[in-house]
Structure 1
Amino acid sequence: MPTSLGLLLPDVAAESPASVAERAEELGYDAVWVSELWGTDAFVQLAELAMRTERIDLGTAIVNVFSRSPAVIAMAAASVDRLAPGRLTLGVGASTPKAVEDLHGTSYDQPVRRIHETVELVKAYLSDADAVDYEGELFEVADFPGLDADVPVYNAALGPANRRATGRVCDGWIPHNIPFEGLSEAFDVVADAAREAGRDPENIAVAPYVPAAVSEDETDAYDAVRGHLAYYVGSGEGYRRAVATAFPEEADRVAEAWRSGDRAAASDAVTDEMVRALGVAGTPDAARGRLETILDLDVLDRPMVTVPRQADDDLTLRTIEALAPASR
């Protein structure tokens, strides 16, 4: 069983992110991870968390590789590492065409190649090299020294090509919406690519999102996770394909309803079986039992509790408390 359990920092209207992170540290969580889509810069937020916490690890889950250059990503990571030495994990990902094109105004071209080259270049910039020289298909740089920061780089990969890139160049894998019982088989693609590249797959950490909601009213908990899964299956083709590995017809129904604009129908199309396979939901005892089952899976190293945005403040805080290492 993994000895660590992280928390993807949720939005809580009644509390500041730093206060939630401080509470997570008190409750025994191993790490707090921050997401980034729109509205809050991940690295600025991590800088505050670095100053407000003492021991807990910090991570991005994730920043996309299209909106910042590899050099900017490396500088940001090195800056946080100086504030919290040895505590940062840099989680990156290709994101989705919607986020990259409609928000950042950048073409969503060659996402897997961009992941591969960005990670290689970021790791080179974070090294202690006297001068970083790199020539790839997408990036060519020369003559700037490394920043000498020890920051592991994880990739949020779904499809097999992106998982192969993870095995070739990354220190960890952040899966999402892959049924937990299928993670070991999915990781085999990462492991095979790592061995082909002369790397030991045992050194690649697996840090999945664990969508979770805990309530005395089981229906409220299940509905929160339903909404989370419907959003991802409906808004990202990669997520739909990941869920479809176990639930092909159900994933299609969810995606069709979401894309037609009927968000309620999309959420309703997420079955109880899907919730149990892809997340944790229920009363405190039931949810803790399901979480322990997931944590017993050999393939996991650094899972992170992920409270759906559909949860209100009370449900969010109840979930954080109920699933905390100190409460189990």
Structure 2
Amino acid sequence: MKLGLQLGYWGAGPMTEAPALVRAAEEAGFDSVFTAESWGSDAYTPLAWWGAATSRVRLGTAVAQLSARPPTSLAMAALTLDHLSGGRHIIGLGVSGPQVVEGWYGQPFGKPLARTREYVQIVRDVLAREAAVTSDGPHYRLPLPADTAGATGLGKPLKPITHPLRADIPIWLGAEGPRNVAQTAEIADGWLAIFFSPRMAGQYNEWLDEGFARPGARRTREDFEVAATVQCVITDDVAAALDRYRPSTALYVGGMGAEEKNFHADLYRRMGYGAVVDEVTRLFLSGRKAEAVAAVPDEMVRETMLLGTADQVRAQIGDWEAAGVTTLMVTARDIPTIEALGTFVDGV
């Protein structure tokens, strides 16, 4: 088991404590540091800025959104950061959801699995630098066909000017549903799991095994990373911690995504919280946010957290490792928690 620090994306402003947290994570033996993006701060700029002060930890995006950059642009950012960090970059990708993809990026959300597969292949082709990069699409055509509206017909296949430091920069994919997780096991080097529950490990393993069994699968279970994002609170006051994180759970299942398509809500339904999800969604979308938060039960919040006394958290980490997690991506926001975690995990 390895430890990663998940810094996420910014709220209204920069995360002023991030440099100290990153420094503490590296000193505590953490394996990696990750940033994210939604529709505010981007993933790569903070990762490069904060990562410049590190020397050992791997630097990952969890996740960079597919629709934010063409695959060749993502590959450019990745090979650049990999050079600057001395080969420490992890590419973490995700499709996001239709509200963001169509509302913020102005692109169609349809066929997310096919888009992901095509995107990953183009990124790998750029990093391999074996030939000029082409793609027959249908989602990312390279070069752009001459008969495309507005095209000049002058585009030609290219390969990167800069030689990538590593042709095999790891690519981890964020995935929540069974088909997406299975495809992740087939084509990627790791799975970025959100709202992971050790109780559901059997189901997750079925999805992963389906992908590993496909012809041409890139990895086996033995060399595949399962990186789970988890909130960690070491405390004697469990009730207060649950109340602190309850609004976030309500937001993700009730207000993060459209009522007709919310992948986080679907995930919690698979966990057995279907009635709660329906009620929270109804209240949240009707503007009754306080009632939506109150409708989230303690166990729904606690199931995806590391929470309790130091001894309890240490025991919970063992449960997550037994469930197949290879990297705990903790969202700790204070140095004492980071330092304590460094003493809980073998090998750190």
- Classify the TM-score, shorter chain: 0.7 to 0.9
| Matching residue's letter, 2:216 | G
Residue among 231, 242, 245 paired with 1:222: 242
Q: 1:191 to 1:281 in 2, by over 3 A?
A: same
1:194 corresponding residue in structure 2: 212
Unpaired runs of at least 5, structure 1: 308-315
After TM superposition, the structure 1 = structure 2 runs for residues 44-123 of structure 1, keeping only pairs within 5 Å, are 44-123=45-124
Tell whether the 8 Å contact from 2:314 to 2:344 is kept in structure 1 after alignment.
no
| Matching residue's letter, 2:288 | D
Q: Quick check: 1:175 aligned with 2:173?
A: no
2:150 corresponding residue in structure 1: none
2:134 corresponding residue in structure 1: 133
Q: Give the C-alpha shift of residue 323 in structure 1.
A: 4.8
When the two chains are superposed, the root-mean-square deviation of aligned CA atoms in Å is 2.3
Question: Structure 2 length as normaliser, TM-score?
Answer: 0.83
After TM superposition, the structure 1 = structure 2 runs for residues 15-34 of structure 1, keeping only pairs within 5 Å, are 15-34=16-35
Q: 1:261 to 1:295 in 2, by over 3 A?
A: farther
Q: Bigger radius of gyration, 1 or 2?
A: 2
2:304 corresponding residue in structure 1: 278
1:204 corresponding residue in structure 2: 224
| Matching residue's letter, 2:181 | R
Identity of aligned residues (%): 29
Q: 1:213 to 1:254 in 2, by over 3 A?
A: farther
| Matching residue's letter, 1:185 | Q
Tell whether the 8 Å contact from 1:288 to 1:322 is kept in structure 2 after alignment.
no
TM-superposition CA deviations, 1:111-131 (whole Å, max 9, x none): 221111111111111113132
2:270 corresponding residue in structure 1: 245
Mapped to 2, the partners of 1:255 and 1:145 lie a distance apart of: 47
Q: Quick check: 1:324 aligned with 2:325?
A: no
1:6 corresponding residue in structure 2: 4
Residue among 145, 152, 157 paired with 2:159: 145
2:281 corresponding residue in structure 1: 255
2:52 counterpart SS class: helix
Tell whether the 8 Å contact from 2:172 to 2:190 is kept in structure 1 after alignment.
yes
Tell whether the 8 Å contact from 1:167 to 1:193 is kept in structure 2 after alignment.
yes
Unpaired runs of at least 5, structure 2: 144-156
Question: Structure 1 length as normaliser, TM-score?
Answer: 0.88
Tell whether the 8 Å contact from 1:65 to 1:92 is kept in structure 2 after alignment.
yes
TM-superposition CA deviations, 1:182-205 (whole Å, max 9, x none): 134223223312321322432321
Q: 1:240 to 1:64 in 2, by over 3 A?
A: same
1:144 counterpart SS class: coil
Q: Give the C-alpha shift of residue 52 in structure 1.
A: 0.5
Q: How many residues align?
A: 317
1:5 counterpart SS class: strand
Mapped to 2, the partners of 1:274 and 1:323 lie a distance apart of: 25
Q: Give the C-alpha shift of residue 295 in structure 1.
A: 2.8
Mapped to 2, the partners of 1:177 and 1:273 lie a distance apart of: 13
